[in-house]
Amino acid sequence: MEEFDEFVRARGDALLRYGYVLAGNSEDAADLVQEALARLGDAWPRVRKKHDPEGYVRTTMVRLHIKSWRRRHREDLVAAVPDHGEPDRYADADLWAELQELPRKQRAVLVLRYYEDLPDHEIAAILGVSRGTVRSQAARALDKLRIIREARVLR
Amino acid sequence: MRSEEDLVLTMRAAAGQTRLPPDLASGVAGRRRARRARKRAGAALAAAAVVIVIGGISVGTSGQERTIPPAASPAGQEPAASPSSAIRPATEVWPEAVTRIPATDRPVTALSATEVLLYKDERFEVYDSATGRTRVLGRVPAAPSRVAVGTQDIAWADTKLGLWVLPRQGGQARRVGTAAADVYELAVTDGFLVWSGERPGVYRMPLAGGTPELMPGAGELRLASWPYAHAWDAAGNVTRIVDLETGRSTPVAVPEGADRWQCGPEWCTGLVNERPIVQRVDGSGRRTLPRTFMGYGLWWLLDDRHALYRVYEPDVNKAGVPLAIVYDLATGEMGGVGERTPGVEGGDVGRVQDFPTLFWDAGARFYRHCADRSCEIRTRGGGKEYTVLNVAAIRG
């Protein structure tokens, strides 16, 4: 119990940031993180044995998000990135808004590949799809976002 | 056109601007409580009873838990530690509350000193230990997910939100109506079915039928044990107790830093600094329980004044250590439930829903089974009979 609480304290912020990139808004991000952490808490003795609670939570979050997470209204989805604090010079508000418009699975693939920096075979394992599906979903999403793919080392 | 680098930077910039909610930990605790309730609500009773037995009390299955010393408690509040092996068995302390039934039956709850309600073969039945016979109450046309026992009727919600009653004396099941959402807590009174679900709000419907009606003043409450309902804070601590019959509302004195705070009409228990404490609803009579006591799950109250605690016993090989302790919050009387197999930190104690009935197989021995880097506690032997402790029958 104590260990789990410590994990929540230590990793909560990072998980919320990940949830925000996945879900696109703070409220859904907090929902996702809380639900995933609640599941982790219930499974803690088992998960702790496998030495990767963080992987468990992140996988739970992305699966929850794709599967059933509640869909917010469109007007919420297109809120610009810098809704508070200093606008970041790298933030492309249009790109962020367009990301929200993508189907969930495509968006999740992009988050796992570009934010989590995971190789396609791990993304495939997390999402429970083939590597080919990961590649085609990513390609379709990048096309929609008008992103030119650089020559990627095949991974 | 944009590059992949733009995508990476945009995601990172967005991540850096997340608004962080003030208290993630209490939100998670509240979720865990709701999840537990949801799990209970979702499973049909036949399946739930089995799961509850298997998933009973598996104390410290990791083998690491026992190396964590209990948190210190403030000086002066510590009662003398009672050695875990000196706790008398509940069967000796409260013989009037103990029944035994064949292990082929799964009890739902005890109905009286000798009678136990069973659900099997799509029927409700009553086993009477005085005669050793089983009597059929009636057929159950739609599998129950949540059951309530009233003075006149047995009521249940089925897995498709249907609400049913069957006379306690036996007879024909009757469909009363339909709930609007999953039923988590259910009670049957002389005139009404009363229930609450995932979201706050206590509803009722006349036994004669009708539509669900939100009970007056109960919009923010959850049904506890009829006639009581509770208000919770975000972390799931009980903050107010309302008597739905009289409308009387009693604020709960929740200690600073309390976790999993839970109350009957008079007594509360919960964790403060990881140690279980007990006090009256108004905050008086506070005491920290001995080190032997540990919280169990998220809700360990069994009825209005008895609670079920896990046992902290660092010597895993010690003999005569109970699996759990039933503790009377008012008098401090306690009894051990089941017995550990030396070398194994846990075992199974069954409980269906929130009924104040525990059952265990006194002939079973436990062992640790480890595979794929995780361990679970399994049972061998036993299988003849269950010892059933009807906590509601414990009274001086």
pLDDT at A49: 66
**Chain A neighbors of B19, CB-CB under 8 A:** 26, 84
User: Do A109 and A154 fall within a single domain?
Assistant: yes
Tell if the CB–CB gap between B374 and A50 is shorter than 8 Å: yes
Higher pLDDT, B137 or B63: B137
User: Do A12 and A61 fall within a single domain?
Assistant: yes
CA atoms within 13 A on the CB side of B255: 26
pLDDT at A83: 40
Is the per-residue pLDDT at A62 higher than 80?
Answer: yes
Residue A59 lies in a domain: yes
pLDDT, mean of residues B275-297:
90
Contact A102/B at CB under 8 A: no
pLDDT band per the 50, 70, 90 thresholds, residue B328: very high
For A29, name the nearest residue in chain B, comparing CA atoms only: B18
User: Do A66 and A106 fall within a single domain?
Assistant: no
pLDDT at B220: 93
**Number of structural domains chain A divides into:** 2
Q: At A108, which CATH number?
A: 1.10.10.10
Residue A91 lies in a domain: no
pLDDT, mean of residues A123-147:
91
Is the per-residue pLDDT at A82 higher than 80?
Answer: no
Angle at B106 between CA B100 and CA B109, to 5 degrees: 75
pLDDT band per the 50, 70, 90 thresholds, residue A148: confident
Domain of A47 in residue numbering reads as 1-70
Residue A78 lies in a domain: no
Best mutation target among A2, A3, A7, A21 (most B Cβ atoms within 10 Å) is: A21
User: Do A4 and A63 fall within a single domain?
Assistant: yes
pLDDT at B37: 64
Q: At A41, which CATH number?
A: 1.10.1740
Q: Which of B184, B179, B178 is nearest to B197 (CA)?
A: B184
**Chain A neighbors of B15, CB-CB under 8 A:** 17-18, 20-21, 115
Per-residue pLDDT of B139-188, as tens digits, reads 999 888 889 999 999 999 988 899 999 999 999 999 999 999 888 899 99
User: Do A1 and A66 fall within a single domain?
Assistant: yes
User: Do A8 and A62 fall within a single domain?
Assistant: yes
pLDDT at A81: 35
Per-residue pLDDT of B305-316, as tens digits, reads 999 988 888 788
CA dist B152 and B166 (Å) reads: 9
User: Do A64 and A106 fall within a single domain?
Assistant: no
Contact A18/B at CB under 8 A: yes
Percent of chain B with pLDDT over 90: 48
Query: Cα distance from A130 to chain B (closest Cα, Å)?
Result: 22
Query: Cα distance from A113 to chain B (closest Cα, Å)?
Result: 9
Per-residue pLDDT of B43-55, as tens digits, reads 555 444 433 322 2
Contact A76/B at CB under 8 A: no
Point out the least confidently predicted range of B33-47, B293-307, B316-330: B33-47
Higher pLDDT, B236 or B140: B140
Tell if the CB–CB gap between A90 and B1 is shorter than 8 Å: no
Residue A1 lies in a domain: yes
Instruction: Please count the residues of chain B.
Output: 396
pLDDT band per the 50, 70, 90 thresholds, residue A135: very high
Q: Which of these three, A70, A94, A114, is where a domain ends?
A: A70
Q: Quick check: helix, strand or coil at residue A37? A: helix
Query: Cα distance from A151 to chain B (closest Cα, Å)?
Result: 11
Tell if the CB–CB gap between B21 and A30 is shorter than 8 Å: yes
pLDDT at B194: 98
CA dist B17 and A79 (Å) reads: 13
Residue A95 lies in a domain: no
Q: Quick check: helix, strand or coil at residue A152? A: coil
Best mutation target among A15, A147, A150, A152 (most B Cβ atoms within 10 Å) is: A147
Contact A78/B at CB under 8 A: no
pLDDT, mean of residues B71-99:
71
pLDDT at B43: 54
User: Do A59 and A121 fall within a single domain?
Assistant: no
Per-residue pLDDT of B255-272, as tens digits, reads 998 888 999 999 999 989
Percent of chain B with pLDDT over 70: 84
Residue A129 lies in a domain: yes
CA dist B174 and B133 (Å) reads: 26
Is the per-residue pLDDT at B228 higher than 50?
Answer: yes
- Name every residue whose Cβ is closer than 8 Å to that of residue A48 and which is 6 or more positions away in sequence: A3, B62, B64
Which residues of B have a CB under 8 Å from any CB of A? Answer: 1-4, 6-21, 24-25, 27-28, 31-32, 35-36, 60-62, 64-65, 68, 274, 295, 373-375
pLDDT, mean of residues B54-82:
38
φ/ψ of B377, rounded to 5, equals -100, 130
Helix H, strand E, coil C: the string for chain B is: CEEHHHHHHHHHHHHCCCCCCCCHHHHHHHHHHHHHHHHHHHCCHHHHHHHHHHCCCCCCCCCCHHHCCCCCCCCCCCCCCCCHHHCCEHHHHCHHHEEEEECCCCEEEECCCCEEEEEECCEEEEEECCCCEEEEEEECCCCEEEEEECCCEEEEEECCCEEEEEECCCCCCEEEEECCCCCCEEEECCCEEEEECCCCCEEEEECCCCCCEECCCCCCCEECCCCEEEEECCCCCEEEEEECCCCCEEECCCCCCEEEEEECCCEEEEEECCEEEEEECCCCCCEECCCCEECCCCCCECCCCEEEEEECCCCCCCCCCCCEEEEECCCCCEEEECCCCCCCCCCCCECCCCCCEEEECCCEEEEEEEECCEEEEEEEECCCEEEEEEHHHCCC
ipTM of the complex: 0.84
**Chain B neighbors of A95, CB-CB under 8 A:** 2, 6-7, 10
User: Do A7 and A58 fall within a single domain?
Assistant: yes
Per-residue pLDDT of A101-118, as tens digits, reads 888 899 999 999 999 999
Tell if the CB–CB gap between B14 and A21 is shorter than 8 Å: yes
**Chain B neighbors of A26, CB-CB under 8 A:** 18-19, 21
CA dist B163 and B146 (Å) reads: 10
pLDDT, mean of residues A57-79:
62
Is the per-residue pLDDT at B87 higher than 50?
Answer: yes
Residue A60 lies in a domain: yes
CA dist B129 and B131 (Å) reads: 5
CA dist B61 and A144 (Å) reads: 49
pLDDT, mean of residues B278-287:
96
Which strand (E) or helix (H) includes residue A147? strand A147-148
Residue from the list B3, B24, B62 with its beta carbon closest to the beta carbon of A8:
B24
**Chain B neighbors of A8, CB-CB under 8 A:** 24-25, 28
Residue from the list A1, A42, A95 with its beta carbon closest to the beta carbon of B35:
A42
Residue from the list B11, B32, B65 with its beta carbon closest to the beta carbon of A38:
B32
For A17, name the nearest residue in chain B, comparing CA atoms only: B15
User: Do A117 and A56 fall within a single domain?
Assistant: no
Residue A94 lies in a domain: no
State the amino acid at position A60 in one-letter form: T
User: Do A63 and A2 fall within a single domain?
Assistant: yes
